Amino acid sequence: MSKKEELKEQILELTREYYKEVHAAKKEFVPGKSFVNYGGRYFDDEEIVNLVDSSLDFWLTAGPWAHKFETNLAKWLGVKHCAVTNSGSSANLLAFYALTSQKLGDRRIKRGDEVITVAAGFPTTVNPIIQFGAVPVFVDVCLPGFDIDTARLEDAYSDKTKAVMIAHSLGNPFNLKDVLAFCEKHGLWLIEDNCDALGSEYTLNGVTKKTGTWGHIGTSSFYPPHHMTMGEGGAVYTDDPMLDKIIRSFRDWGRDCWCVGGVDNTCKLRFTGQYGELPQGYDHKYVYSHFGFNLKITDMQAAIGCAQLKKLDSIVKARRANYRTLYDGLKDVPGLILPVAEDNSNPSWFGFLIAVEENAGFTRNELTGFLESRKIQTRNLFAGNLIKHPAFDEMRRTGEGYRVVGELKNTDFIMNNGFWIGVYPGMTNDMLGWMIQSIKEFCTEHSK
């Protein structure tokens, strides 16, 4: 063993000891005094060892760990191509902008084209549509699934419609059967925002696949509360090699070349091509076919992701079990609407979404205030109704820039009455029991 290898082995062994000393100890849960977070980092010594290992190589930007992560995540998802990026929001940006590429010919999304989506969710599912200059068309959602009302899809369609871009809300798959049929009928792109739903499954015509892999492009987020974490991070995946090439181009400054960083002439076109009005043989590494970004990840983040991937099956299993515990414990509580899995699906839940009925005898804010007083963390369903936010003030005044189909009645109901609590793998039975006890106690006392 070389001196270098010997030193690295010593450093990594000390890293494992550090984890055991600093992070491994479990604190006793005391109801009402200990916090019950809605989510959090779920890791052991392997993530920290990988992080330190990659830092010692000092590659820094995307490198061998990033390539390993992309390969392993694609295999886990069952897709052909996966591009890792610096956040789930960037993943959505890349997924949408890929569909604006001139390389797609008449199918490309142009400014002024329409994209069907929902207002009940996280803004970065919708932001790329607006940032590009396309028009989001908002459709209401259904209860108790909290996902898109597919009965309104045809009402939302126009001769300007080019795509559907929606999320599997808090891990519950939307009605993929209806959405896929609608997209196929009209020749539309489908982007699945899978940031809340890594590991969720959907069965169609006897075939079961993971969500994010049914449409043309899927996206994931690896922010700490999500199913797996890199601290910051995301991924875009597809079975289409052309879309994958376009996604990577937009991620890597918009360049035309697909050679990985630090490697020259994998494409065998470095000094031989003719591009635009550039001189013949201009260096392909500096040819740009898109107005792109720099949204790459660091190799250190990818190293954490490689360790997280090994835990992903057990993470999904734990989230499902925690959902079942909460559902069984709360199903008979008065005044509440509980989340129900979409038909033909097996969700990998991100959170447990609850809505307070209109005439429950108490409000959402009263219930969440009580839970927070007991140190139980709650969250609203992100934006609630996105078009009510200040970012839409100017568009509301002018009546331009977006379109609404019918009334967003359920969207507004969720905005006013909905909240969610956690199901992440760090939840213990004591924590779950405390949440159930607290909700039951409040609702029973205050319900009509």
Q: What is the pLDDT of residue 257?
A: 85
27 band by pLDDT with thresholds 50, 70 and 90: confident
Specify the DSSP class assigned to residue 245: H
Rg (CA), the chain: 23
Angle in degrees, 0-180, between the axes of helices 241-251 and 88-98, rounded to the nearest 10: 120
Q: What is the pLDDT of residue 317?
A: 98
Overall average pLDDT of the 256-272 stretch: 79
Overall average pLDDT of the 417-436 stretch: 97
Q: What is the pLDDT of residue 268?
A: 77
| Alpha-carbon separation of residue 71 from 285, 368, 447 (angstroms) | 23, 42, 52
Virtual CA dihedral for 206, 208, 211, 214, nearest 10 degrees? -50
Q: What is the pLDDT of residue 100?
A: 98
Q: 314, exposed or middle or buried, with CB in 10 Å at 0-12, 13-18, 19+?
A: exposed
Angle at 222 between CA 162 and CA 197, to 5 degrees: 55
Q: Is the pLDDT of residue 314 over 80?
A: yes
Q: Is the pLDDT of residue 33 over 80?
A: yes
CA–CA distance, 133 with 401 (Å, rounded to integer): 8
Overall average pLDDT of the 141-147 stretch: 95
Q: 60, exposed or middle or buried, with CB in 10 Å at 0-12, 13-18, 19+?
A: exposed
Q: Is the pLDDT of residue 260 over 80?
A: no
- In one letter, which amino acid is 332? D
Edge-to-edge strand ranges of the sheet holding 345-346: 207-210, 201-204, 345-346
Q: What is the pLDDT of residue 9?
A: 95
Neighbours of 34 (CB within 10 A): 15
Q: What is the pLDDT of residue 25?
A: 86
Q: What is the pLDDT of residue 26?
A: 83
- 73, 307 contact by CB (below 8 A): no
CA–CA distance, 17 with 185 (Å, rounded to integer): 58
Q: Is the pLDDT of residue 273 over 90?
A: no
Handedness of CA 153, 159, 163, 167 (dihedral sign): negative
Q: Average per-residue pLDDT in the chain?
A: 96
Nearest CA to 256 out of 230, 278, 236, 237 is that of: 278
Q: Is the pLDDT of residue 35 over 80?
A: yes
Q: What is the pLDDT of residue 121?
A: 94
Q: Catalytic residues, which ones?
A: 226
Q: Is the pLDDT of residue 45 over 90?
A: yes
426 band by pLDDT with thresholds 50, 70 and 90: very high
Lookup: tokens for 200: 């969720």
Q: Is the pLDDT of residue 261 over 80?
A: no
What is the pTM assigned to this prediction? 0.96
pLDDT tens digits for 46-104? 999 999 999 999 998 999 999 999 999 999 999 999 999 999 999 999 999 999 999 99
CA–CA distance, 244 with 241 (Å, rounded to integer): 5
